[in-house]
Structure 1
Amino acid sequence: MSTAILAEPGQSASTSTASLQVIKRNGALVGFDVSKISVAVTKAFLAVEGDEAAGSARIHDSVEQVTHQVMQAISRRLKAGGKVHIEDIQDQVELALMRAEEQKVARAYVLYREAHAQERASLAPVEAHPTLTVKKANGEVAPLDLGLMKVQVERASQELEGIDGESLVEGALRNLYDGIAEEEVLSALIMTARGRIEQEPDYSAVTARLLLEQLRLETAAALSLPLSLPLAEIYPQALSTFIEQGIHYELLDEAMAAFDLERLGAALKPERDHQFGFLGLQTLYDRYFLNWKGDRLELPQVFFMRVSMGLALQEDDPNARAIEFYDLLSSFDYMASTPTLFNSGTRHSQLSSCYLTTVQDDLEGIYGAIRDNAMLSKWAGGLGNDWTPVRALGSHIKGTNGSSQGVVPFLKVVNDTAVAVNQGGKRKGAVCAYLESWHLDIEEFLELRKNTGDERRRTHDMNTASWVPDLLIERMRSDQDWTLFSPNDTPDLHDLYGNAFRARYQEYEAMAARGEITLFNTVSAKQLWRKMLTVLFETGHPWITFKDPCNLRSPQQHRGVVHSSNLCTEITLNTSADEIAVCNLGSINLAAHVHNGELDVQRLERTVNTAVRMLDNVVDINYYAVPQAKSSNFKHRPVGLGLMGFQDALYRLNLPYTSAEAVEFADVAMEQISYFAIRASAALAGERGAYETYEGSLWHQGILPIDSINLLKEARQDGDLSLNTSSRLDWTAVRELIARNGMRNSNVMAIAPTATISNIVGVSQSIEPAYQNLFVKSNLSGEFTVVNPSLVRDLKAEGLWDNVMVNDLKYFDGSVQQIDRIPAALKARYATAFEIDARWLVEAAARRQKWLDQAQSLNLYMAEPSGKKLDELYQLAWERGLKTTYYLRSLGATGAEKTAPVAAPQPQVCSIDEPDCEACQ
């Protein structure tokens, strides 16, 4: 609109409004902005005639006419400047609309004013505190707005049971002092509500909503949005303003401005903010929302839309796809991995979760790998390094005629690099080193995490894993010897598996017996296995992962070898000197797909179809810090669709983890996910083309994950593989689709730990059993009381939830087993991780593994480990065909004697450090 139209005849607009000030309702003075009049009038017209009328010549002319009349009226009253109240301006707008005979539009404008007046009235002080004052940001001292505190608590408590709003306000007041900063009052409410979560899980939602109000005020101030408007009206404007400011601050990709921001803003669903618990929203607030100089620029739904826009940048219809992706993320049916949430839509959109490398046996290769670790960690990637090719301690170095120091000294450098490069300052750097168990340095490698010994040969800040061939297990079971070699003497063992490895390994043993190989060591296979289990119990490392199942069931065995897994043991992709494997992760919220006692298959199908598309987009959009990663990802396009909330799904089904029914559900749910995921990738191949190295793959040969079990069975001795291979679905249509289209992705599924994203969504982690029913969780956002809401709901139904029960749960470390008044059925359903026989975890994992083309992060829990129990457990995992295992968790050997209820939840103590599995998710 031309500003000249708004000026008095003979005046320019600048002279007529230059000194004009508007008195806001709170008494503050702001400069006059004529555009706000035209925007308000336009909204009134569109409220009557619909959004499709936007841009019409008639509305444009009418808005100009009304705005001109308002300016004339104000200018006549104030002449050469002055002050005008905002209510007077709005009165003139109403009058101008009536004079223009736009009665319907005038009515819409009046209703708009009334609605906002009611909103302001609801936020007006009911009463000023009689003694306490607050200090405002401008230095002004005013009475504490007690009425506002009550309204904030009332609004945060809507539709929630068991919330005592009056007591909550009183509790917060006890933590205030005269002259407190105004912004700290809301923080006091948040802290008070937070302290009550252990007594009533709904206080988690109350705390989240109070935090949301704090975020609204912070974001509105940062983006210069109206502080008085509710979120529902702020959101559309917040999205467009955030995109504009994010590009200006060089936080966002300039391509984000090409979206139809008005359309996307209208698609936001503010009501979904009420899905958050406190831990989830606080985690986003502290670590995920983009900020500028400490001020958050994103509200939760804007955050989800930003991520979705970033993932839709290269779609044919990016606006429609962004809305589709947003609907999935904001519904909590699925959540992208942490790197994707951090970086989608930014100038460095490193969205991938995991990187796997193979280290070459020379200084250039070794330090090149360490440099790659640093670059990948900088952009929030979790790392898995295969160190098997590096020659062992005492090996001859031809170039210098010296002897090698082996693998361990270099791992110390890797450890310190992970500490120094802490993933962009957002979380700890994390890496896992893998070594095959025939490597001559394996025994020293096993001791890297010990707290005794030479500190120069210890790595306390990184993870380690043993890459175990089937032959070692066979030798251990038959109590035979095992020979350790240096890889420079046996270079092809690294690339062999199954029967080919067995044959070549025996040839090298014969060569050593003849004296043709001089650097080797013969040990008892059983003693080496026992040492693996002993240090695993003592330190939690190295994790035990199985080389042959990972390779024999790999769809990509025609194009290389799986030499290791990743940081969290769920990724099984090929690596080499030329290729760094990359995997892009996301997880289905399984609990959200259980309704009325059964799996909602139609909803699951919609979720999987959209999720696979989002994951495939990551490959093309991703920022690659090193060229080997880009080359590998574009050739093979692997993705890893996983799940979380398995324990919560069992709660909804009223099933204990330790039941045949739970194992069956693991099987049924994973088959459905596998079916839909493989079909979705094949459908994408029909739309976008198959991945570059598809020909020759197991997919190309018509061998699906369920079929590849036969390849493992053929390589095992009789009786060494005992795995249920039944299926319930007719896979014919999927097989035909693959034969017709190929596959878009070389790998499709992997179950990651979901340590952080499950917190965001508010469900149990991954496939984990409940850790405790009441405990304190610590992460980079602080300490959070976590109470099992399903347990509380069931106890309420039995009339058993009271303060005595809370204290009993504290006293018994979150366990229900020793609380006599709890029914046996509930005790079984709410058994915690250390109360479950770990064999049930293996059995459920085995049912999932048959449908997976990659692996799963499987933690194993044992309250009272023994050598025999550990041996049986890990042999069972091998017999069931598992590809990998993750942490072994055990309880501390000592604990405080309890003679009275304790004051706060006491977490179970593990004998190992808490894993940084957040690096994957």
Structure 2
Amino acid sequence: MSPNSATALRVEPEQPPLAEAPSARPAAEPAYQVIRRNGAVTPFDPSKITVALTKAFLAVEGTNAAASRRVHDIVEGLSEQIVAGLTRRADSGRTFHVEDVQDQVELALMRGEHHKVARAYVLYREDRARERAAKNAGKKSGKAKAAKAPSLHMKTADGAMVPLDADRLRAVVEEACSGLEGVSAEPILAETTRNLYDGISQDELALAPILASRTLIETEPGYAKVSARLLLDKLRSEALTFVKGSAQQATQAEMAALYADYFRAYLKAGIEAELIDPELGRFDIERIVAALMPERDLQFDYLGLQTLYDRYFLHRHNVRFELPQAFFMRVAMGLAIREIDREGRAIEFYRLLSSFDFMTSTPTLFNSGTLRPQLSSCFLTTVSDDLDGIFKAVKDNALLAKYSGGLGNDWSRVRGLGAHIKGTNGQSQGVVPFLKVANDTAIAVNQGGKRKGAVCAYLETWHIDIEEFLDLRKNTGDDRRRTHDMNTANWVPDLFMERVEADGTWTLFSPDEAPDLHDLYGIPFREAYEAYEAKAERGEMKVYKQLRAVDLWRRMLTMLFETGHPWITFKDPCNIRSPQGHVGVVHSSNLCTEITLNTSADEVAVCNLGSVNLAAHVSADGLDHERLARTVKTAMRMLDNVVDINFYTIPEARRSNLRHRPVGLGLMGFQDALQTRRIPYASQEAVAFADESMEALSYHAISASVELAAERGRYQTFEGSLWSQGVLPVDSIARLSEARPSVTMDNAETLDWESLRERVRSTGMRNSNCMAIAPTATISNICGVSQSIEPSYQNLFVKSNMSGDFTVVNAALVRDLKARGLWDEVMVADLKYYDGSVGQIDRIPDDLKALYATAFEIEPIWLIEAASRRQKWIDQAQSLNLYVSNPSGRKLDETYRLAWKFGLKTTYYLRSRSATHVEKSTLKGVDGKLNAVSASSVAVPVSAPASEGWGKACAIDDPDCEACQ
């Protein structure tokens, strides 16, 4: 490459760009600025990047017409990536350093695999850095005194210029590093200082050390906590200023004395702003503030606190005024509002939440203690076969989603395409047009911008529209018959799976001609279905279709493979093992496939979720049963309180919840617990631990519900339930075996279940259902543990969610590598190169490779076996993602048949992947091969045509994915 082409890659602005014409940039567009190396600040001009890249590419590619056209297309795309990367990382500030610009240029070149241009650029940057270093060294030689650093000023919120308080900046950074191993204030201060300029705004100054600390996380996980503490300083300034009415700042040490006064002012401000229920102001506030623990503000990782900051903390005009302990206390007080000793219970709930031993679900965290306490997570509805019912269901979806509810709709009653409509003497257009309406409603009602409205449509496998249903998420075909935003799931009867096993035929019907199939399962379903098949053979059915069961099964798996939908869920085990079969039928699961509750025309099922942090209840010696029992007892009381406190947007939901009082206690941090126990996920020991831990959780949850029944009374429909017969979840396996002899489920038990069965029979249960394992995507981030029952996705990766991009490093792996003298820059580079996997890094010992194997290195049979062991103890289901590294038709067929044979009630996402790489926070000092990265690590099917690129099946940590949020 010629010197001229190297110079063309220089994107540092040498002089302020000419003013742009008004038409080139709208007045409302925010102005970004670039800090030059000498500290001067100039407006950011994206066109300079485009011009520099174009010149550089033409120097390599040539200047003929064909090359010019190609370069134009490449540069246009790269420029967009670079500007998007810069502005995204600028967060709420509008300034970035020239080195940040150049980092993004280098990243984009490497990501696009333009290695010749990129290598020249890397070399050019290194040469320029040496020149500057030599020049500076020359200036400092001799006896000349070093010039005094120019004094900097900060622009306050009211526009005043005040001297920048460098001493406070240092004190805050040093305090953030205090007590943490492996971290230092100096690199943070150095990078922060590099990005300061005269006239920097107050918000930018608060962000600068946070952004500086974030860049260090990939080499030392301890900086995740440092970054959180620096964010906490920004939050304290916002919150104190809001509630006090004038500019306030405080260090963490100073907050120990200020927290009580702050909380009183916070509560008053929240009530006046109509964001907090005035009833909270009538608590004994002195007793409440005495229980606050300011030191627990320090336990967050950056991802957790940033998520709370962006999406959970109360705010007014985008100013957060809720500190973490105020947040947890507000939630706790809201859940205790109807208790007799409500202060005592609020303190009990607060201590549990703020310890991270247990966390309630997102809707509870959003809305507890507010004027609209919609605290429930999941709603399940059945859609009736008439226009009034269909559009009532759509309206109900909107009302339920408005306050953060996730929805599962059963559409199997709606007649299929071609069925007769008596009222108009016409033919039905089937389910699909109405699903399109439901899809668009979910997008329109986006929960106040906190997260997208989310709904999953379920359809039974015998429905005549099932083939069109499978195509709903395709990107081809008539867009009026596509639902690109709605989740979908197959509701699969055992008889269909048996026909697949036997390579038999399968018949599709319209529900208006086979109405009872919707409510039948097990042997009665088989008998009715075969009778309808006989009627069809005799020509007595108007709308039906016969096909090979295996062909439909393959198409189901193909669509799951290509679009990520519909998920595979199993109707019969959900019903046969349901404790509530005496009062209804489970017609679908929910948005995340862990809820299995009855629905009907006059009952919308509701579930109230929370998750135990299993990692906090495990040591190297094993499970802490005593601590787990305490946690579960308090957690079950909190979840039961939700039923009575909840703000119900439709009467059918209130009626159902008060009659049956179901809750869903789940878990998170399973992978962390395994690593604490030194147990690889892909092992029989892990399967046994899944069994042991879920048995303990189930035992304590059922016991807690019995205690609540003794105190508060049984749920209304207890009599006639499996509970009333002394049939606990583990006992219901026998019922499934009777209906399906081929089921393979372990039924061993180790705790004193017989005495608990007797307590359940004699005292009763407070809750019709007690357990369900939800995805916990966001609350596990808050607690800083692995998601739900998931294996680790990668040991080093960039996570994307609605709060932005976050470097995630497995701190346990880093500790083990440090202990063996293996953690260094080379190891960081190796982890990036191998997508966060340790399996291919030769110098890592085999025991660590097994312990820290990532999701795509674990055969799905281990996930299914562990899930089967859990399922035997759970009265509902679990959100089980399946990871398949190299998917094929045979592999998926084996995997999902195995899930059915092992007695699972539901499965969730199919995760597959392409050859992707971790995004680096900086690219300095590494070669082009290492830096060949993709924008994100996404899960995709391997069958996509090469000409079309990869078709996304399920994006890991997709900001738009409910499961990932």
TM-score bracket for the superposition, by shorter chain length: 0.7 to 0.9
CA distance in 2, matches of 1:703, 1:906: 51
- What is residue 744 of structure 1 aligned with on the other side? 766
With the length of structure 1 as denominator, give the TM-score of the two structures: 0.84
User: Is this contact kept in 1: 2:156–2:201, CA < 8 A?
Assistant: yes
1:380 Cα shift? 0.4
Match of 2:923 in 1: none
Aligned equivalent of 1:260: 284
The yes-or-no answer on 1:661 pairing with 2:685 is: yes
1:699 alignment partner AA: W
Alpha-carbon distance in structure 1 between the residues aligned to 2:417 and 2:832: 51
Matched, 1:224 2:244: yes
Paired-residue identity, %: 65
1:297 CA displacement: 1.8
Q: 2:393 aligns with which of 349, 369, 379?
A: 369
In structure 2, distance between residues paired with 1:696 and 1:136: 68
What is the distance in 2 between the residues matched to 1:900 and 1:700? Answer: 64
CA contact (8 A) 2:938 2:954 kept: no
User: What is the alpha-carbon distance in structure 2 between the residues aligned to residue 189 and residue 584 of structure 1?
Assistant: 39
Amino acid at match of 1:417: T
Q: 1:141, CA displacement in angstroms?
A: 2.4
Rounded Cα–Cα distance in structure 2 between residues aligned with 1:920 and 1:351? 20
Mapped partners of 1:454, 1:565: distance in 2 = 28
Match of 1:493 among 514, 517, 534: 517
Of 212, 215, 228, which residue of structure 1 is paired with 2:235?
215
Question: Is 1:854–2:883 an aligned residue pair?
Answer: no
Once the two structures are superposed, residues 878-901 of structure 1 have per-residue CA deviations (whole angstroms, 9 ceiling, x without a partner) of 111000000001113788999532
1:542-570 per-position Cα deviation (integer Å, ceiling 9, x unaligned)? 00000000000000000000000000000
Deviation at 1:136, TM superposition (A): 2.7
Q: Note the alpha carbon deviations across 1:276-333, whole angstroms, 9 max, x for none.
A: 0000000000110011121112100000000000000000100000000000000000
Aligned-pair distance for 1:450?
Answer: 0.9
Residues 892 and 909, structure 1, Cα contact 8 Å, conserved in 2: yes
Tell me if structure 1 keeps the 8 A contact 2:706–2:764: yes
SS at match of 1:840: helix
- TM-score, length basis structure 2: 0.81
Q: Among 824, 832, 848, which residue is 2:854 paired with?
A: 832
**Paired AA for residue 866 in structure 2:** A
Q: CA deviation at 1:146?
A: 1.6
Shift in Å at residue 541 of structure 1?
0.5
Counterpart Cα distance in 2 of 1:864 and 1:322: 49
Q: Which secondary structure state, in structure 2, belongs to the residue aligned with residue 211 of structure 1?
A: helix
Equivalent residue number for residue 166 of structure 1: 186
Distance apart, 1:905 and its partner CA:
8.7
| Residue aligning to 1:406 | 430
The 1:590–1:752 alpha-carbon spacing in structure 2 relative to 1, beyond 3 Å, is: same
1:798 aligns with 2:816: no
Task: Find the residue that maps to 2:429 and give its secondary structure.
Answer: coil
Name 1:908's counterpart in structure 2: 937
**Could you tell me which residue of structure 2 aligns to residue 64 of structure 1?**
none
CA 886–657 in structure 1, closer or farther in 2 if over 3 Å, else same: same
What is aligned with 2:166? 146
Contact residue 129 and residue 143 of structure 1 kept, 8 A: no
1:594, 1:652 within 8 Å by CA — same for their partners in 2? Answer: yes
Q: Does 1:234 find its partner at 2:258?
A: yes
1:329 aligns with 2:353: yes
Q: Aligned partners of 1:468, 1:461: CA distance in 2, in Å? A: 22
Distance between the aligned counterparts of 2:531 and 2:159, measured in 1? 83
Q: Per-residue deviation at 1:732?
A: 2.2
Shift of 1:516: 1.3
Amino acid at match of 1:582: V
Matched, 1:864 2:886: yes
- Return the alpha-carbon distance in structure 2 between the equivalents of residues 248 and 480 of structure 1: 67
Q: Letter of the 2:542 partner, please give it.
A: T
Residues 276 and 895 of structure 1, relative CA distance in 2, 3 Å threshold = closer
Q: How far apart, in 2, do the equivalents of 1:258 and 1:905 lie?
A: 54
Structure 1 partner of 2:865: 843
Deviation of 1:705 after TM superposition, in Å, equals 0.2
2:443 matched residue in structure 1: 419
Q: Residues 301-450 of structure 1: matches in 2 within 5 Å?
A: 301-450=325-474
1:137 matches 2:157? yes
Tell me, what secondary structure is at the counterpart of 1:769? coil
2:358–2:631 Cα contact (<8 Å) kept: yes
Greater Rg, structure 1 or structure 2?
Answer: 1
Deviation at residue 137 of structure 1 after TM alignment? 3.2
Match of 1:292 among 300, 316, 328: 316
In the alignment, structure 2 segments of 5+ residues that lack a partner are 1-147, 920-926, 941-952
User: Following TM superposition, by how much is the alpha carbon of 1:425 offset from its aligned partner in structure 2, in angstroms?
Assistant: 1.6
Q: Secondary structure at the match of 2:724?
A: coil
In the alignment, structure 1 residue 808 sits paired with structure 2 residue 837: no
2:568 alignment counterpart: 544
Distance 1:257 1:231 in 2: 22
Mean Cα deviation higher: 902-911 or 659-668:
902-911
1:883 aligned to 2:929? no
Choose from 788, 793, 797 the match for 1:775: 797
Q: What are the Cα deviations for residues 98-140 of structure 1, in whole angstroms up to 9, with x where unaligned?
A: xxxxxxxxxxxxxxxxxxxxxxxxxxxxxx9643222233433
SS in 2 for 1:566: coil
Distance 1:217 1:903, change over 3 A: farther
Once residues 830 and 226 of structure 2 are traced to their aligned partners in structure 1, the CA distance between those partners, rounded to angstroms, is 25
| Alpha-carbon contact 2:796-2:918 (below 8 Å) kept | no
Q: Which amino acid aligns with 1:639?
A: V
Look up the match of 1:463: 487
Tell me, in whole angstroms, the C-alpha distance in 2 between the residues paired with 1:506 and 1:449.
31
SS in 1 for 2:725: coil
Is the 1:198–1:787 Cα contact (8 Å) retained in structure 2? yes
Distance in 2 (CA, whole Å) between partners of 1:564 and 1:405 is 23
Q: Is the 8 A contact 1:304 1:326 kept in 2?
A: yes
Q: Please state how far the C-alpha of 1:920 moved relative to its aligned partner.
A: 9.9
Paired residue type of 1:277: D
Bigger Cα displacement from structure 2, 220-229 vs 268-277: 220-229
Match of 2:630 in 1: 606
Aligned AA (1:224): K
Is 1:270–2:294 an aligned residue pair?
yes
Instruction: Give the 3-state SS of the residue equivalent to 1:273 in structure 2.
Output: helix
1:395 is paired with a residue of what secondary structure?
Answer: strand
Unpaired runs of at least 5, structure 1? 1-127
- What is the DSSP-based 3-state SS (H/G/I as helix, E as strand, rest coil) of the residue aligned with 1:853? coil
Structure 2 CA distance, aligned partners of 1:412 and 1:917? 19
Separation (CA, whole Å) in 2 of partners of 1:204 and 1:394:
58
Report the counterpart of residue 50 of structure 1 in structure 2. none
Give the total of aligned pairs.
Answer: 792
The amino acid that maps onto 1:845 is: A
Q: State the match for 1:24 in structure 2.
A: none
Question: Which secondary structure state, in structure 2, belongs to the residue aligned with residue 886 of structure 1?
Answer: coil
Amino acid of the structure 1 residue aligned with 2:535 = M
Matched, 1:615 2:639: yes
Aligned to 2:779: 757
What is the CA-CA distance between 1:378 and the residue it aligns to?
0.5
Q: 1:836 and 1:434, CA in 2 relative to 1: closer, same or farther beyond 3 A? A: same
Instruction: Determine if contact 2:797/2:918 at 8 Å carries over to the other structure.
Output: no
Aligned to 1:732: 754
1:871, distance to aligned residue in structure 2 (A): 0.8
1:664-707 CA distances to partner (integer Å, 9 max, x unpaired)?
00000000000000000011000000000100000001100000
Instruction: Indicate how the Cα distance of structure 1 residues 354 and 539 shifts in structure 2: closer, same or farther if over 3 A, else same.
Output: same
Task: Tell me if the contact between 1:386 and 1:433 (Cα under 8 Å) persists in the aligned partners.
Answer: yes
Checking the alignment, whether the CA contact within 8 Å between 1:597 and 1:652 is kept in structure 2 is: no
Cα deviation code 1:43-95 (max 9, x no counterpart): xxxxxxxxxxxxxxxxxxxxxxxxxxxxxxxxxxxxxxxxxxxxxxxxxxxxx
d(CA) in 1 for partners of 2:291 and 2:933?
Answer: 43
Q: CA distance change for structure 1 residues 918 and 589 in 2, over 3 Å: closer, same or farther?
A: farther
Give the C-alpha shift of residue 773 in structure 1: 0.6
C-alpha separation between the residues in 2 aligned to 1:918 and 1:515?
45
Deviation at 1:263, TM superposition (A): 0.9
Q: CA deviation at 1:609?
A: 0.1
Q: CA RMSD in A?
A: 1.6
